[in-house]
């Protein structure tokens, strides 16, 4: 899933038990793997390669900046939406924590490319194993993510 979807789900989880930040961090981090298992669409990266054995030596490629801008925009949009939906002045810190923890496994893939050591190796194996092998096409794969994030938000905002 894209980072925004992970951030919104992480923020929603945080809003359920805002006084338990460790539980929020663990549950939001775990939610990443659960929702990556749902068939979806991910935007293609042009320079950053995450597959095992990929060559990332050409990171000064201008396409690398485009990838970074796209990832940065996605992460910031997710953080903004999660805080707008779930945060109050008292809970903003824990909502941001939940959103960041929900997104975290994806940047850890990049860290693992640079530093292929444990426990990152096991985490990446888990990430690949839980991640759906079914790639939906644009626009179905993105509209279904928006609908999923909206449904989770609606449930948490009405029930939670
Ligand atoms: Zn992921």
How far, in Å, from the CA of 127 to the mean position of ligand 1? 7
How far, in Å, from the CA of 1 to the mean position of ligand 1? 6
How far, in Å, from the CA of 32 to the mean position of ligand 1? 6
Question: Sign of dihedral through CA atoms 11, 17, 20, 23?
Answer: negative
Bridge partners for 83 per DSSP? none
Determine the pLDDT at residue 138. Answer: 86
Q: What percent of the chain has pLDDT over 90?
A: 80
Determine the pLDDT at residue 53. Answer: 66
pLDDT at 144 over 80: yes
The arithmetic mean of pLDDT across residues 21-42, rounded, is 97
For the chain, the average pLDDT equals 93
| Residues within 5 A (CB) of ion ligand 1 | 36, 106
The arithmetic mean of pLDDT across residues 50-79, rounded, is 82
Contacts of the segment 43-49: beta carbons below 8 A, 24+ positions apart: 43/2, 43/70, 43/74, 45/70, 45/71, 48/110, 49/113
Determine the pLDDT at residue 72. Answer: 96
How far, in Å, from the CA of 74 to the mean position of ligand 1? 13
How far, in Å, from the CA of 95 to the mean position of ligand 1? 19
The residue among 12 and 58 whose pLDDT is bigger is 12
How far, in Å, from the CA of 63 to the mean position of ligand 1? 21
Bridge partners for 135 per DSSP? 40
């Amino acid at each position: 899933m894209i980072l925004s979807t992970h951030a919104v789900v992480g923020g929603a989880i945080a809003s359920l038990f805002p006084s338990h930040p460790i539980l929020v961090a663990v549950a939001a981090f775990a939610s990443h793997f659960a929702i990556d298992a749902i068939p979806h669409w991910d935007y293609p990266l042009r320079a950053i390669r995450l597959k095992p054995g990929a060559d990332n030596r050409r990171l000064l490629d201008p396409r690398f900046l485009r990838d970074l801008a796209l990832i940065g925009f996605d992460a910031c949009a997710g953080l903004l939406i999660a805080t707008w939906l779930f945060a109050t002045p008292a809970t903003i810190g824990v909502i941001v924590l939940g959103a960041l923890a929900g997104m975290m496994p994806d940047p850890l893939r990049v860290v693992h490319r640079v530093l292929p050591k444990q426990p990152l190796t096991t985490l990446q194996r888990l990430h690949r194993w839980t991640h759906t092998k079914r790639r939906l096409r644009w626009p179905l794969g993105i509209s279904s993510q928006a609908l999923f994030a909206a449904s989770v938000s609606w449930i948490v905002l009405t029930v939670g």
